[in-house]
Structure 1
Amino acid sequence: MNDTQEVLFEERSTASGQKLGLITLNVEKTLNALNLTMVEAILARLADWRERSDIACLFIAGAGEKAFCAGGDVQALYRSSVDNPGGPCEYAERFFEQEYRLDYALHQFGKPVVVWGHGIVMGGGLGIFAAGSYRVVTEKSRLAMPEITIGLYPDVGGSYFLNRMPGQCGRFLALTGAAFNGRDAVYLGMAEGFIEHARRDAVLAALSEELWSSSVADNHERLHNVMAGFAAASTTALPAANVEPAVEQINRLCSADSDVALINAIVALQSDSPWLQKAAATLAAGSMISARLILEQLRRSEGLSLKAVFQSELMLSTQVVRHREFAEGVRALLIDKDRKPQWQCASAEAVPQSLIDQHFQAPWAEHPLADLSA
């Protein structure tokens, strides 16, 4: 039975008598973008499936061929922001809180969670994807955290997983919103396996035929064994790498001695690599307030637990949506679509430190995510 047609839930029988829990994001027309109803429906189902001994493994995918999930429903967040200037922005803040609860619940689920990251995997979609215990990328996967373009920053746990990428890759990807492919995702530690999309039905059949155990640890091992064969058979479809060949240059760019110098170094980049050049252009056109917030948030999040990261992100996201930069970014990209945002600051050095500091002040007396638990 479905809680909502925007998310499909299925329990599929397996050879062991246990079941696979299938979740399909089912809003093809918006590239399976998440709204509050979808998030709350998935959260409720996860709470049920986590406690049930007959659910052995989860499999999460997106409907259609274009996207796993392109992110959150940013237009709804925009409306909440512009309707409540200065905040509180009830819908947007509720969405962020519940979205982070969902991502955290997936990270803490315990049982194996396969996420099939075919097509576009961006923003909030990458938050769900990153929480999987076996994350699949395909020949069409296109992953990114492009929040710099709308005056936001990479949230949904980005402050955690970006800090754990090789070298300075996380900082570079956060600042530039650069898209990366399936081969890149494996290199960056963002995926366990590359599997051709045409093999998905065969993967599901194999998971259904598996003799699952009553031991969660055994089931993780069984899952990896099943997936290893499909990954080995898919290696010829791997796309050319973008990130690894650029790592030395990325590390040099991000070794600047201040945040302003780092941002300016990327903006000024002249490269023979179309991928690097596009990344630099995206940062140059993006919000300089966001760029400064991104670096500050990554620095503050180093070494934090996942729980503490989500708590810090909710504080920052709440402040961002209450300031006008975010609404202006969404207006230019998605509402009026003129692609001419009137950013508050023309350069990284023009961003007042006092404005950055404001974003890192708790806007409530009691933290809404104080009750997150392992």
Structure 2
Amino acid sequence: MPDAVLVRVESAAAGKLGRLTLNSPETLNSLTLEMVELIQGALDDWREDPSVAAIVIDGSGEKAFCAGGDVHALHASSSGTPGGPCEYAETFFAREYRMNYQLHTYPKPIICWGHGIVMGGGLGVMAGCSHRIVTEATRIAMPEVNIALFPDVGGSWFLNHMPGASGRFLALTAASVNASDALFCGLADRFISADQKDAVIAALLAVSWGSDSATNHALTRHTLRRFSEAAGNGELPKAQVEPYLETINALCDGDDIHDVIDRIMAIDTDDRWLAKARDGLIYGSKLAAQWIDRQLFETRHSSLREVFQQEVQLGTNIMRHPEFAEGVRALLIDKDRKPDWSYAESRAVPAELVDQFFTAPWPENPLADL
């Protein structure tokens, strides 16, 4: 069996470059618990190794950086122990979020090559990196409403920091965005043409890295800037979020979540992107739409540490409820796209049920020590 994550250290002109390659192209590099632990172990080792100056994270194959978490394994854990505890799923979330937090707070430069599909857990990895590159083929989405989950892996942080109501809209609709949108929304730092990847790696290996993180962040920016600003770097795709930001803000300016859902589901447009966003919410779980929206509201002023603590609580409660298992069954297992959601429309969801998802299911939060 090939390694699920290729972990290696390569010598640069001075200093070394840590390399992490998600290596499961047949699953679009979807994250498993094993992969999370391999990434975490390497980050821990390299944090204390003065010879490793910077880190590059990428994915095997041409299709995806990472399509998310291994949802089939989460489904098996959730459906296998109805009502919980769901040992695998809950362990996965706690360790994945710990790894995400480490990425966000890591002192050394971490360069992410976010090419192709970047969804769910893959976006969690990319969002935490300090130097995030997107290409003309990048397609980003947080489609959790379609499987009755929520935009986790720090989504409660980065969605709340997006312009206007764009984060709320993307979370509720599962709408996908491209490289232009990622730059506008703060999910990426640079656009570099996909065919420049080998040259970018070669340039990073040609750097004489310094002995402190501030110097090495500057050297990283200097190296990547040459590519992102180069003539003939490639053409950014047409923006989707920025041109519709005024519309998105109006759609999300409802009296309550039910009004917002009504407004989005009533979109009358010939625009393909907006129509697909509308259809994503129409298809999605109306129970999930409510816990998604409440999670964003409750974390709007939270610290990054608090965000992950609140996410692991919500994720644990969702795994113990049948809505998630049904969402995965309909979309990814039976693929009939006919989920038997608990509630057909949002106003039928009891408020006390939503409250339960925001109540701690254990005496101590597993991320209390972050």
Per the normalisation by structure 2, the TM-score is 0.98
The answer to whether the aligner puts 1:73 opposite 2:70 as a matched pair is: yes
CA distance in 1, matches of 2:176, 2:221: 27
CA RMSD of aligned residues (A): 1.0
Equivalent AA in structure 2 for residue 326 of structure 1? F
Residue aligning to 2:335: 337
Residue aligning to 1:262: 260
| Pairwise CA distance, 1:181 | 0.3
Which runs of 5 or more structure 2 residues have no equivalent in the other structure?
none
2:24 to 4, 16, 27: 27
Moved over 4 A (4+): none
| Pairwise CA distance, 1:211 | 1.3
Q: Would you say the 8 A contact 1:264–1:348 is kept in 2?
A: no
User: In percent, how many aligned pairs have the same letter?
Assistant: 54
CA distance in 1, matches of 2:270, 2:222: 41
CA distance in 1, matches of 2:234, 2:43: 36
1:165 to 144, 162, 167: 162
The answer to whether the aligner puts 1:90 opposite 2:106 as a matched pair is: no
| Pairwise CA distance, 1:272 | 2.4
The answer to whether the aligner puts 1:122 opposite 2:119 as a matched pair is: yes
CA distance in 2, matches of 1:325, 1:336: 15
Which runs of 5 or more structure 1 residues have no equivalent in the other structure?
none
| Pairwise CA distance, 1:270 | 0.7
Residue aligning to 1:324: 322
CA distance in 1, matches of 2:171, 2:320: 21
CA distance in 2, matches of 1:237, 1:227: 17
CA distance in 1, matches of 2:147, 2:343: 14
Equivalent AA in structure 2 for residue 121 of structure 1? V
Q: Would you say the 8 A contact 1:69–1:121 is kept in 2?
A: yes
Residue aligning to 1:134: 131
CA distance in 2, matches of 1:310, 1:267: 30
Structure 1 segment 185-204 matched on structure 2, within 5 A? 185-204=182-201
CA distance in 1, matches of 2:227, 2:8: 23
Equivalent AA in structure 1 for residue 239 of structure 2? A
Q: Would you say the 8 A contact 1:169–1:250 is kept in 2?
A: yes
| Pairwise CA distance, 1:86 | 0.2
Q: Deviations over 1:124-151 (max 9, x none)?
A: 0000000010000000000010001000
CA distance in 2, matches of 1:235, 1:266: 36
The answer to whether the aligner puts 1:359 opposite 2:357 as a matched pair is: yes
Give the secondary-structure state (helix, strand or coil) at the position aligned to 2:92.
helix
| Pairwise CA distance, 1:235 | 5.0
Equivalent AA in structure 2 for residue 363 of structure 1? P
Structure 1 segment 269-308 matched on structure 2, within 5 A? 269-308=267-306
Give the secondary-structure state (helix, strand or coil) at the position aligned to 1:8.
strand
Per the normalisation by structure 1, the TM-score is 0.97
CA distance in 2, matches of 1:10, 1:203: 17
| Pairwise CA distance, 1:348 | 1.1
| Pairwise CA distance, 1:369 | 0.5
Q: Would you say the 8 A contact 1:77–1:92 is kept in 2?
A: yes
Q: Would you say the 8 A contact 2:56–2:112 is kept in 1?
A: yes
Structure 1 segment 94-243 matched on structure 2, within 5 A? 94-233=91-230, 235-243=233-241
